[in-house]
Structure 1
């Protein structure tokens, strides 16, 4: 059994706690937060989980993997503290707010023989993995292009403390882009060049829910980004990520090949319907599940990493993949700012597919 210690007990921690309790091979033994009362409230709800300070959790001998659920600006410092304490670490996306923070983490982990894992692990579910299985067996021929779209009027409509979505490490590209680009790299392989444009509709936003309703806050990052990703395979993906759109009818992800097209479900979910059109069947048809962890939820990437550590094998939602995704996203913002294409310096090997019927305990 691999023991998990969670740092950061905000909104997303409840989802992780619920799903990790259902997964084989892992158990949460401790939680920590700068607000000690929040950590204690979780410990009071879950027998067997202790509330600790962040420093004490890092040095606790019972903790094998630190699960970092802090805000983006704290991802790199908490990762670094965990690695320096001799712990493997898995975190929410992005890996860090930029490449300058992220790259030393990979070097530190490698030098310490420790693992870094990073969300999103949604790509390990049956939605993206079914699409991956169809692509790998050639159901739509050679993939040549794709589209990826996420639009919303803004997270302040539902989140009671939304400021971090509009600060460094946030914005639609770094907040939601990791789901889409991780899925695209899983499906089509790494990206070698990007071009793009970016802007924002508002310099100020207003909180719409919770005790701070009506308060305004500043916007520091682009809130509408569009561009093209050129994959090493030659496929071209058109992306649109926005916090400035009230409504739109756009596909989440579609893949276009020489012999057909695939409709891929929301990469922010683990499952969903995959549909296909081929040269011989011109009507969209739902395809049966062909891969992925069935019934997966947030935390399956942690369990996949824990299994890989036990077996001495690569894990799928790893630091190299997260770094490449961050590199692609940051390069896209640079391309928009510089008004010219930008080469993506990093590359990565597509993670192993999750076969049909797999369990994170045994694959």
Structure 2
């Protein structure tokens, strides 16, 4: 059975979705729209996709029971997500769901009222690496988890050659938009989604954020380029999560358990190694094994995508999960509650500044059902 999607926005990230789509079966793109007519023409010609000449036509022609992928700039997410929902369509939104919590809550309330699915990227939580770590936690491989350190540092990006970063069809990396939106809103979800999927709701966020690099390219105001958060879960270990475009590249996550440490060093790779280093006493010194063993699921998982740029992720895992949930009439793993809670925690980190202190979360969600091949 063919599953149908429509794509709103043909910028830098859209090519990553289309390259991922090549690895999937049974998903058809039935319409594409972008307000930039030249970009729309080039994108659709390259990928052989049907274009729509207006937002009105795009929404009118989007098939019932399909999913709209909102891949537009973050500042337009609330307005366009709302338009899609009001037109009666299920929506998969690039992150963030909205840049304001009240707007995100309004979107989720509208989706619930209309009986529609509303999900948010990132979908790497459905990928092999995240699911392998989840499996290791459920099996107690490292014992009871006591603390987690997670890093999403991307290097000193303002000095990078970002003007030369182009997508497959030549779309430039939207550096001004990235600097205004902020690395926390753009990237925190890569580990937040994993953490929330394993442990459920974050009860309290204690965070600080700052703009440490002034005079970035573009018109301001610019968002914080560094955030550090301590997350207290309802049922889970205390976690420290760092996001920056300042510190040297580090995408590692370490789960410290009673008997050792689970680790992964590549959040943006669906096939990244998950390792376990047992803790031991060597003479009078306490150490983790210098020869960690790899943790594997030992069964087929999901279609993989070759590395492009900084990532080796299948961006279509999320839309595919939504379509499958609709087809099977079951709850979607990327639920509306999941998207809203992740958005609230992310905004709490981004907007923390230096005086916000402890922030109690007002939303919640349950842990995520593992993928069938990770049980």
- Fold agreement, TM-score > 0.5: yes
Deviation sequence 1:60-86 (CA, Å, 0-9, x none): 153621110001111111111111111
The equivalent of 2:169 in structure 1 is none
Question: Is 2:32–2:49's contact at 8 Å kept on the other side of the alignment?
Answer: no
The equivalent of 2:197 in structure 1 is 186
Question: Is 1:143–1:188's contact at 8 Å kept on the other side of the alignment?
Answer: no
The answer as to 2:127 corresponding to 1:110 is no
CA distance in 2, matches of 1:274, 1:294: 18
Deviation sequence 1:265-322 (CA, Å, 0-9, x none): 4223322100002346833122223575352611111011101001111112232212
- 1:252 is displaced (CA, Å) by 1.4
TM-score (norm 2): 0.86
The equivalent of 1:173 in structure 2 is 184
- 1:133 is displaced (CA, Å) by 0.5
The answer as to 2:287 corresponding to 1:285 is no
CA distance in 1, matches of 2:51, 2:352: 46
The equivalent of 1:46 in structure 2 is 47
The equivalent of 1:120 in structure 2 is 122
CA distance in 2, matches of 1:338, 1:147: 23
Moved more, 284-293 or 171-180: 284-293
The equivalent of 1:32 in structure 2 is 33
RMSD: 2.2
Question: Is 1:67–1:89's contact at 8 Å kept on the other side of the alignment?
Answer: yes
Residue correspondence of structure 1 range 283-362 to structure 2 within 5 A? 283-289=291-297, 292-295=301-304, 297-356=314-373
TM-score (norm 1): 0.88
The equivalent of 2:285 in structure 1 is none
CA distance in 2, matches of 1:300, 1:52: 28
CA distance in 1, matches of 2:4, 2:184: 32
Question: Is 1:32–1:54's contact at 8 Å kept on the other side of the alignment?
Answer: yes
The equivalent of 1:154 in structure 2 is 157
CA distance in 2, matches of 1:240, 1:219: 22
The equivalent of 1:7 in structure 2 is 8
The equivalent of 1:256 in structure 2 is 256
The equivalent of 1:225 in structure 2 is 227
The equivalent of 2:60 in structure 1 is 59
2:261 is paired with a residue whose SS is strand
Which of 74, 77, 89 in structure 2 is aligned with 1:87? 89
- 1:251 is displaced (CA, Å) by 5.6
Q: 1:94 to 1:137 in 2, by over 3 A?
A: same
- 1:227 is displaced (CA, Å) by 2.1
Q: 1:78 to 1:339 in 2, by over 3 A?
A: closer
CA distance in 1, matches of 2:373, 2:115: 31
CA distance in 1, matches of 2:48, 2:245: 39
Q: 1:149 to 1:48 in 2, by over 3 A?
A: closer
CA distance in 2, matches of 1:72, 1:334: 16
1:356 is paired with a residue whose SS is helix
The equivalent of 1:209 in structure 2 is none
The equivalent of 1:201 in structure 2 is 212
